[in-house]
Structures are given as C-alpha cells and as structure tokens.
C-alpha cells in the first residue's frame, strides 16, 4: 500500500489549516462571482479557500482566483476520484480535500505530492486514511455524525489524528469546535451564503467572516 510519503505535504497542510482556522466551502455557480467573492473573504480575514468541484465553472473559478487574488490560498474540494485529484494537482492549487474516500482515491492521493485531507465519518474510515499516511482528515458531516462528542470519542483510539470538521458548522459553534485539541480548522458554507453570492452582497460576506474570526479565541 502506498502512503503519502512526503512529510512536507502533510506538514504544509497542517500549517495552512492551523493558520486559517476557518475554511469556507465555496460553491461558485457563475464564473464572474469568483474573484469578488474571494476578495470579500480575504477582506474579512479568511484567506484559505476551498473551491468545490460542484459546479461547471469550478476549475475556471479556481484559476481566476489564483490569478487575481494573490492573498488567497486556494484548494480544491469535493474531490471524488483520482481524475478530480489529477485535475486539482494540474491546476497548481495548494491542497485538495474530499467528503469521503474510496480505496482508489486514497491510493492516488498517497502517490500525489498535493497536500490532501480525505473525508472520514467513522473509525474504520479513519483507519483507512491513517494507513495511507493521512493524519489530518476532514470529519464530515460533523454535526449530523455526532458533533463534538463523536470527535472526542475518536480521539481516544486515534491520538495522532487531526481533524477539520465540516457540515453543520457556523458562527454559533465554530469556536467550540476549534477549542478541541485535535481540531486544526473548521470548514463550511456559512461564511459565504448562496443568497449573498447570488445578490453580490460582498460586504455582507466580509462581515460574516470578520464576525466569525472575532468570535474565536486568540491563537496560542
């Protein structure tokens, strides 16, 4: 079995996520929204962005942000298979992230230099991820899967695992999740509501980001 052999990739991912603390999950329907959206997030203090492969324009949107918003650190999310991973790596993004993992995807990611966080929801899935060398995983969907209680239970048998929970996280509970010692960052769509993107309410998106960042305890 191949393992993500590069400690560099793993540590780079952990450092990026730890510094970010919150990572918006972006679903960009119109290419022209990509750059103003990224600028709004950055203006609110949120720089590490997950552009999901959920829309037709996702790849072009990621390219546009990388070209025009140099302060943004762009990753690709909703990577579902080895082809998606290859597309993300070819773009030159900083990281990849997936909602779950298949054996094929874990193999491909382990062989790729792209820093990657596979999605897990159970102990068995976490064991698969760890066996491939991924010790920072996305815990998804975090709230429906038992929330902080479930995460604490996983910390017992897996003391080396680090998590980026997403799914059901928002302004009200981001700080609580981030207080857990094994949580490096939290992700979610609350930072960029679809209605605000549709209406071009960039100031509103910056305000949500700034409020969320302010609600977090200062980093130690």
Give the catalytic positions in this structure: 50, 138
Token output for 47: 């720089």
Query: Do 61 and 30 touch, CB atoms closer than 8 A?
Result: no
Q: Considering beta carbons, is residue 47 or 138 the nearer one to ligand 3PG?
A: 138
Alpha-carbon gap, residue 100 to 108, rounded angstroms: 14
At closest approach, how far in Å is the CB of 152 from ligand 3PG?
A: 20
123-129 — which CB contacts under 8 Å span 24+ positions? Answer: 123/154, 123/157, 123/158, 125/100, 125/101, 126/154, 126/158, 126/161, 128/101, 128/103, 129/101
Q: Considering beta carbons, is residue 111 or 216 the nearer one to ligand 3PG?
A: 216
DSSP per-residue letters across 128-147: HHHHTT--EEEETTTTTTTH
Q: Considering beta carbons, is residue 115 or 119 the nearer one to ligand 3PG?
A: 119
Where does this chain bind ligand 3PG (CB under 6 A)?
A: 25, 99, 140, 166-169, 187-190
Token output for 106: 């874990």
At closest approach, how far in Å is the CB of 90 from ligand 3PG?
A: 22
How open is the CA angle 23-199-209, to the nearest 5 degrees? 25
Select from 194, 196, 189 the least CA-distant residue to 212: 189
Instruction: Using CB positions, name the residue nearest to ligand 3PG.
Output: 188
At closest approach, how far in Å is the CB of 22 from ligand 3PG?
A: 11
Token output for 214: 């302010």
Q: Considering beta carbons, is residue 115 or 167 the nearer one to ligand 3PG?
A: 167
At closest approach, how far in Å is the CB of 14 from ligand 3PG?
A: 18
């Amino acid at each position: 079995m191949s393992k993500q052999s590069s400690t560099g990739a793993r540590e780079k991912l952990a450092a990026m996520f730890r510094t970010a603390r919150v990572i918006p999950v972006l679903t960009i329907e119109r290419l022209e929204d990509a750059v103003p959206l990224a600028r709004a997030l950055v203006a609110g203090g949120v720089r590490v962005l997950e552009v999901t492969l959920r829309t037709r324009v996702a790849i072009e949107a990621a390219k546009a942000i990388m070209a025009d918003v140099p302060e943004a650190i762009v990753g690709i999310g909703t990577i579902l298979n080895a082809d998606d991973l290859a597309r993300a790596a070819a773009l030159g993004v900083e990281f990849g992230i997936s909602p779950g993992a298949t054996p094929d995807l874990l193999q491909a990611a382990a062989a790729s230099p792209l820093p990657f966080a596979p999605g897990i929801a159970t102990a068995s899935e976490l064991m698969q991820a760890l066996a491939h060398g991924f010790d920072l995983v996305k815990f998804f969907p975090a709230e429906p899967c038992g929330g902080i209680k479930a995460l604490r239970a996983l910390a017992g048998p897996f003391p080396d695992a680090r998590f980026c929970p997403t799914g059901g996280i928002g302004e009200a509970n981001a700080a609580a999740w981030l207080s857990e010692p094994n949580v490096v960052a939290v992700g979610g769509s609350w930072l960029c509501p679809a209605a605000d993107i549709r209406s071009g309410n960039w100031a509103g998106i910056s305000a949500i980001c700034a409020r969320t960042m302010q609600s977090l305890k200062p980093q130690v």
